[in-house]
Amino acid sequence: MKSVAIIGAGIAGLTAAFYLKRKGIPVTVYEASGRVGGVIQSLRQDGWLAEFGPNTLLETSPKIGQLVRDAGLQSRRLDPEPKAEARYVVRYQRPFAMPGSPLGFFTTKLFTAGAKLAVLREPFVAPRRDGVEESIAQFVVRRLNQEFLDQAIDALVAGIYAGDPHQLSLTHAFPKLKALEDNYGSLIKGQIFGARDRKKSGEVAKDRAPKFSFDEGLQVLPDMLAAQLGDAVKLDTEVTKLKQTADGWRVATSNGEWEHSAVIYCGTAFKLAEMKVMCGRAALPHSSEIEAAQQHRPTGDKELEPLDLSRFSEIRYPPVASVVLGFRREDVAHPCEGFGMLMPKIEGFKILGTIFSSSLFPNRAPAGHLTLTSYIGGERYPELARLPAEKLVALTCEDLRVLLGVAGKPAFQHCVLYPKAIPQYNVGYGRYRELMNEIENQAAGLFFAGHYRDGVSLGDTIVSGCNIVERVEKFLTTK
């Protein structure tokens, strides 16, 4: 019976394993740590519910809702409070509600007349067609203006990637924005005329996609998938080496070795760089050799040569500390009704942003209290993320005091450091994606999926896990 090894029990690996198993294909999920979920981490304690990794799942594709239904979790799905729609951006040292309509944009005090004029001018800015890869910062300044970059995009980029807009690639980190310019010549025109195309494909723009979680936090999803996979999930089992054989792959782990017909790598890029992979052809392929190599399988160890995966260690994953604080309602002056607030660097605060967690989902805090989840570090201040917990709490409380009028000590506090949090799809990221394509072509039966390949959002990684199943199934049936 053909079986598949899945490396990594984050959401991408578990999604792939869950659907392969449903198709009757035997799977084993190898997970280096002692728990499932990867960066997803929810903690229930004394009436509080803290999310340290992702807080919400955006339903940008029909595959996401389908997974929830297939996993039997529809009744545990939690949609946010309708009044929690507002998003704030900090300017002039206080949070401003982001305008939700064209009229709101032209009347808001968040942007100056210069920025409003830039929006009116945008449809007339000629699209760039010379094929040069831009950073998101270059793109925004070219199509809009510096104020948009400094006051809005810088904050957004901190909120999504904990990244640097001058480094992040438009093509790889914001492919939908690039497609708007490529297909419609303008962001504004693309917003208006692209709605029909998006409807046809079933995709939903990130700013309009419904977001949700579960009654006991996002951890519910990986836990449920793992429960349905049962013994197929092997915890505390790090995969250290892959060796191609005549029939498939020998997977060497910290707990023993197993044979599989195919392998899906759903770990992190920096761990991939450490893995030893021996396969049937020498040094990394050149495009001309790919076709010849495709069906090549080694017949003995002598034919095996190591793949050089060290380049994946170049992908930057800055550290991020999640600081979850609970306060008595009366100790917070701001109503905190909304999704949360984003922080442009230019405003001089230490936190990258704050999610109003219990405004989104009231069961995140005991009655009469609220939970605020803030992030520190990223590319902006990597050194701050590694501060001890009491310093992180003190820095966060100071920023929240100025911005939200938070007084008094937190009634709940918990910090978690992600030493390598989110991969930065910086300018030039295409070379890593090409490398993955080349390796897949060369090393038949080895596949890549997850946040370092198909987009960093939770939704992207679920779709990545779904899509890889189709490719692996096709490979197994033609093998």
Ligand X SMILES: Cc1cc2nc3c(=O)[nH]c(=O)nc-3n(C[C@H](O)[C@H](O)[C@H](O)COP(=O)(O)OP(=O)(O)OC[C@H]3O[C@@H](n4cnc5c(N)ncnc54)[C@H](O)[C@@H]3O)c2cc1C
Window 207-246: residues binding ligand X (CB under 6 A): 238-239
When asked if residue 322 is in the footprint of ligand X (CB under 6 A), the reply is: yes
The smaller minimum CB distance to ligand X, of residues 8 and 410, is found at: 8
Query: Site size for ligand X, by CB under 6 A?
Result: 38
- Looking at the Cβ atoms of 8 and 445, the one nearer to ligand X is 8
In whole angstroms, the minimum distance from the beta carbon of 30 to ligand X comes to 5
Stretch that binds ligand X, among 52-60, 225-233, 286-294, 329-337 (CB under 6 A): 52-60
Q: Does 40 bind ligand X (CB under 6 A)?
A: yes
Do strands 276-279 and 239-244 pair parallel, antiparallel, or not at all (unpaired)? parallel
320 binds ligand X per the rule CB under 6 A: yes
The distance of closest approach from Cβ of residue 360 to ligand X in the complex, given in angstroms and rounded to an integer, is 11
Give residues with Cβ within 8 angstroms of 320, minimum separation 6.
162, 352, 375, 376, 377, 378, 385, 417, 418, 421, 422
- What's the min distance (Å) between Cβ of 477 and ligand X? 26
Based on the shown chain and the rule CB under 6 A, indicate whether residue 451 belongs to the binding site for ligand X: yes
Does residue 466 interact with ligand X by CB under 6 A? no
- Selected range binding ligand X among 138-146, 198-206, 356-364, 454-462, rule: CB under 6 A: 454-462
* Site membership for ligand X, residue 55 (CB under 6 A): yes
Say how many residues make up the chain: 479
Least separation in angstroms between CB 290 and ligand X: 25
340 binds ligand X (CB under 6 A): no
Q: How far apart are CA 110 and CA 129, in angstroms?
A: 32
- For strand 233-234 and strand 27-30, is the pairing parallel, antiparallel, or unpaired? parallel
Give the residue, chosen from 4, 5, 6, 8, that forms a contact with ligand X under the rule CB under 6 A. Answer: 8
Give the integer Cα–Cα distance in Å for 103 and 144: 18
Q: Which of 173, 277, 456, 476 binds ligand X (CB under 6 A)?
A: 456
Instruction: In whole angstroms, give the CA distance from residue 322 to residue 416.
Output: 5
Judged by CB under 6 A, the stretch of 32-40, 136-144, 182-190, 302-310 that binds ligand X is 32-40
Q: Binders of ligand X among 67-86, rule CB under 6 A? A: none
Strand partners, 406: 332
- Least Cβ distance, residue 279 to ligand X (angstroms): 17
Q: Does 7 bind ligand X (CB under 6 A)?
A: yes
Q: Which is nearer to ligand X, 248 or 459 (CB)?
A: 459
Q: Which of residues 411-450 bind ligand X (CB under 6 A)?
A: 418, 421-422, 450
Residue 364, interface with ligand X (CB under 6 A)? no
| Among residues 6, 10, 352, 403, the one that binds ligand X under rule CB under 6 A | 10
Q: Among 4, 5, 6, 12, which residue sits at the site for ligand X (rule: CB under 6 A)?
A: 12
Nearest Cα residue to 76 out of 68, 84, 65: 68
**153 or 209, CB closer to ligand X?**
209
Q: In the complex with ligand X, which residue's Cβ is closer, 186 or 244?
A: 244
Give me the phi and psi of 201, to 5 degrees please.
-80, -10
**What part of residues 83-122 is at the interface with ligand X (CB under 6 A)?**
none
Q: Out of 33, 363, 437, 441, which residue is the one contacting ligand X (CB under 6 A)?
A: 33
In the complex, what is the shortest distance from the CB of residue 172 to ligand X, in angstroms, rounded to a whole number?
14
Assess 31 for contact with ligand X (CB under 6 A).
Answer: yes
17, 27, 42, 56: which one binds ligand X (CB under 6 A): 56
Smallest separation (angstroms) from ligand X to the CB of 252: 10
Pick out residues in 256-285 that bind ligand X (CB under 6 A).
266-268, 271, 275
Query: Does position 39 bind ligand X by CB under 6 A?
Result: yes
Residues that bind ligand X (CB under 6 A): 7-13, 30-33, 38-40, 53-56, 58, 238-239, 266-268, 271, 275, 320, 322, 418, 421-422, 450-451, 456-459, 461
